[in-house]
Structure 1
Amino acid sequence: MKVILIACLLLASTMAWKSFAPGEGPFSHLSEDEFAARYLMPLENDALQTPPTFNANEFKSIFGTHGFSWRTHDTMSHCVGKIRNQGKCGSCWAHAIAEFLSDRYCIQSQGALNTTFAPQFMVDCAGLDYEAEGCDGAETQTMLSWVEKYGLVNETCYPYFSGDTQDKGTCHDTTCTDGSPSINHGVEDGSVKLFFNYTNVDLAHELMNNGPLYFSMVVFGDFKEYHGGVYHPIDYTMKGTHAIKCVGWGYDEPSASFYWECANSWTEEWGEDGFFRIGFNDFIGYKAGSARMGTSKVPHLFSS
């Protein structure tokens, strides 16, 4: 295994991205199966479909090569939330949705409403009727419909703990953990957009005009070793799927390739302080979604 890791490290350097040295990454103590079981969701049939072809010339003619990122936006960079830690729970879906909506809530208010929404609320309260299984993953597209119906609560009201317990908790939908009344922040009616047969141009317009969005992506065998640079897979073994938040795109001159700039939920110890860049042609982001946050509303009561 050590020889394989060293080989991957050398190959990665030739592909302009860095991997952790053998034994140094935050997941080096986990086998591939253990890592997939804790941090990824199972492969789905639609994840195996060939993504739309990326037309670099078309993209360049529209956006040029200067790139765009909410992390470096003149007035809204503070709206991009901190990197989270999903821990030993397959709750990437809840983190990705809570995080991109937190950022958008701030951006839509011109920076006035800077809050952090609670992934634990979704982990505990969303059920199989919306294809959600707590720490065992969820259907991200369906979960946006759940959020549209029930809204989200703040992290201070409903702190995250499943990363330690490795399991969902008991749903409390009208009160915070301290017993005070909770307030759900709703999604604007009709604002949910689900991208299936998308183009990079479509997604770039949506991201630049309305804020970060989430992707469901295929994770390849060497992705957990990523340490920096523009990621181009070397090991194309599909290990599972994963939900992340994308905040921008750019152009890498050495490799002459466009890339997405995304936030992961694997702590700041992984990747580029928790973020990663991945080439358009290497990113099987087979589903994506967005929405606009609405006004605060009285919590919905969940049906039994």
Structure 2
Amino acid sequence: MQKIIFLCALLPLSWSKPNVTLIEEINSQQSAWKAGINTIDDIESRLGFLGIHPDPNFKLELQEPQKTRRAIPETPDAREYWPQCKDVIGNIRNQGRCGSCWAFSTAEVMSDRLCIATNGTVKFEFSPEDLINCCSNCGKKCNGGYTLYAWQYYMTSGVVSGGDYNTSRGCQPYSASSFIYGIAPTCSKTCQNAKYATSYDTDKQVGGSPYQIPGSVTSIQNEILKNGPVIAGYEVYEDFQFYQSGVYSHISGVEVGRHAVKIIGWGTENGVPYWLVANSWGKEWAKLGGLFKIKRGTNECGIEASIISGYVANKPAPGSGVRVLGSGVGAVLAMTLFYLLKF
């Protein structure tokens, strides 16, 4: 089985062609997507190289999603499919100069799925900062990491809440050190937000085990329709830094590494099928508010080969004290009725 390695940190190297030349080359060779200069011009400072998984025999549970009773829709968007969680799923985050997409994509999917599983009664913004700083076996912090280990850390140790840099959301918002300088702080088992009343131990939430989704389009679609957005890893080429709009496929330039993101939907544009993907480079990146579309059904850049996700649970971490968010009989009945009507 293919190793589940998401190297969100990319090799820091110089692009092989001048920007203008590469942009002209991309736009002249195809019309499916538009290339141009993005507002973020420091891509290299955000990226690094992690390496491969040390165990060549590593395997992850392969889970075939249950088929929905309804026909697979043509153009679903998780933000609209679960309107009660639109603000959570549509929250485009920003990893800054730290190569931490492994933590961001995992935290985002955890937040989305917990909201969906509780029918919108629990909106807990998981902290990438907590994962980066305190998950000792997740990788090399701002120099890349593994989403699988991040989810396992959520399962075994729990993760606190935390918004983006320069916010006052949650226990551990994203730090200036990671965002501006690409240097992760040391692990702190206290809340870093003075305005947040809950303690670090009480704030922690734990989830269930991670699993891999088979690489077929139908399997990925059924998984998203059943449980919500998924984590995807894919190869990044030089031309991707110039993506503006349309359905991306690799046109020009060498491979520079791998990136981890979350898939929130799919559709077809000008006859080209695509996955709708949330990036973690802020809403100003590209022209789709921080989202991008990538060709679907051909394993473009390997995006369909390494899809993982996991189970969520609305409960505090062991030993963290009693903290119940949106639980109780009413919430359980609401969630049960929601799934019966949805599927």
Q: TM-score range by the shorter chain?
A: 0.7 to 0.9
Q: 1:187 to 1:233 in 2, by over 3 A?
A: same
Q: Mapping of 1:131-150 within 5 angstroms? A: 131-150=138-157
| Equivalent position of 1:270 in the other structure | 285
Of 48, 59, 73, which aligns to 2:81? 73
What is the DSSP-based 3-state SS (H/G/I as helix, E as strand, rest coil) of the residue aligned with 1:293? coil
Coordinate RMSD, CA, aligned: 2.5
Once the two structures are superposed, residues 194-251 of structure 1 have per-residue CA deviations (whole angstroms, 9 ceiling, x without a partner) of 24x5222211111111001111111111111101111122115211111101101112
Confirm whether residue 233 of structure 1 aligns to residue 250 of structure 2. Answer: yes
Once the two structures are superposed, residues 71-116 of structure 1 have per-residue CA deviations (whole angstroms, 9 ceiling, x without a partner) of 2226343331411111110001100000111111111111111221
What is the DSSP-based 3-state SS (H/G/I as helix, E as strand, rest coil) of the residue aligned with 1:222? helix
| Equivalent position of 1:214 in the other structure | 231
Task: Please tell me whether the aligned partners of residues 39 and 89 of structure 1 are also in contact (alpha carbons under 8 angstroms).
Answer: yes
Task: Please tell me whether the aligned partners of residues 45 and 97 of structure 2 are also in contact (alpha carbons under 8 angstroms).
Answer: no
| Equivalent position of 1:53 in the other structure | none
Q: 1:269 to 1:41 in 2, by over 3 A?
A: farther
Q: Mapping of 1:31-110 within 5 angstroms? A: 35-36=43-44, 38-39=46-47, 41-42=49-50, 44=52, 66-73=74-81, 75-76=83-84, 77-110=86-119
CA separation in 1, counterparts of 2:292 and 2:47? 16
CA separation in 2, counterparts of 1:65 and 1:293? 25
Of 108, 111, 122, which aligns to 1:113? 122
| Equivalent position of 2:31 in the other structure | 15
Of 149, 164, 187, which aligns to 2:207? 187
Q: TM-score, normalised by structure 2?
A: 0.71
Could you tell me which amino acid in structure 2 is paired with residue 113 of structure 1?
V
Q: Mapping of 1:128-167 within 5 angstroms? A: 130-155=137-162, 156-161=170-175, 162-167=178-183
With 272-281 and 79-88 compared, the bigger mean Cα shift is at 79-88
Residue ranges of structure 1 left out of the alignment (5+ in a row): 47-61
Residue ranges of structure 2 left out of the alignment (5+ in a row): 1-17, 55-69, 163-169, 321-343
CA separation in 2, counterparts of 1:68 and 1:149? 33
User: Which has a greater percent of strand?
Assistant: 1
What is the DSSP-based 3-state SS (H/G/I as helix, E as strand, rest coil) of the residue aligned with 2:160? coil
Q: 1:112 to 1:8 in 2, by over 3 A?
A: farther
Could you tell me which amino acid in structure 2 is paired with residue 290 of structure 1?
S
Could you tell me which amino acid in structure 2 is paired with residue 185 of structure 1?
Q
CA separation in 2, counterparts of 1:85 and 1:170? 20
